[in-house]
Amino acid sequence: MTPNLPQKLWRPLSEVKSYVEKFPEGVFLADVKNRVGGFKTLKTKEQSELLEFIRSRENILVLPCKKVNAKRTTMMLRHKKFGFPKVIPGYVYPVKDKKPEPQKTIEVKNSEVRPMSLETKTSPEALRKQAEELLKAAEKAEQEANENDLFNKKLAPVKLEILQSVGAVQRKFDELMDCMGTLEKAAQKLKEISA
């Protein structure tokens, strides 16, 4: 669920998004803090709130990364239409979580493969049967991987089209917000004149 954003943060949000969109390779949060006027003027708490709002949106990626040999993690902002980067030169990316990942187990469907014990005497027929089951399981896993790869290849252009459409809608929304701000200022001037 997208959090509500205070009216004060709409203009800096628009500026940040316009700035990030200019950089296909992405831009670091430090550069955003230094170069985007609306973001620079915000208090630290407001910057964090805006960053959290950006993170929850679908059109800007907030990517944690770490400079090589550095202890602190930094953030890179990148428009989603450019996709996730494979590498960030000079940085460790993706930053590995310190928690160990749970070990993955391979499930062999419709067959039970028992680990062999040296103590158990196994007949050649039983070994052949076990080898055949393992080969079938490997072939099935390979086929499923190929099918997934084909699906992902078909999905990629559709996903890109959707992301570009979302970006276009977001740009129009930003223009609308800018116009609303201009309209509010004009209405305020009109009130002052008629008062």
Does the predicted TM-score (pTM) go above 0.95? no
Shared domain check, 91 and 12: yes
Do residues 19 and 40 make contact, with C-beta atoms less than 8 angstroms apart? no
For the four alpha carbons of 33, 37, 38 and 43, in that order, the dihedral sign comes to positive
CATH code where residue 90 lies: 1.10.10
Q: At what angle do helices 44-56 and 10-21 cross, to 10 degrees?
A: 60
115: three-class secondary structure by DSSP = coil
124 and 92 in a common domain? no
Whether residue 112 is contained in a domain is answered as: no
Q: Is residue 146 part of a domain?
A: yes
What digits encode the pLDDT tens for the residues 139-188? 888 888 778 777 778 887 888 888 888 888 888 888 888 888 889 888 88
Q: Does the residue 182 lie in any domain? A: yes
Segment 88-140, tens digit of pLDDT: 988 988 887 555 445 444 454 544 445 544 445 567 777 888 888 888 888 88
Asked if 5 and 66 sit in the same domain, the reply is: yes
Taking the C-alpha atoms of residue 15 and residue 58, their distance in angstroms, rounded to an integer, is 17
Task: Show the domain range for 21.
Answer: 1-96
* Structure tokens, 192: 């002052």
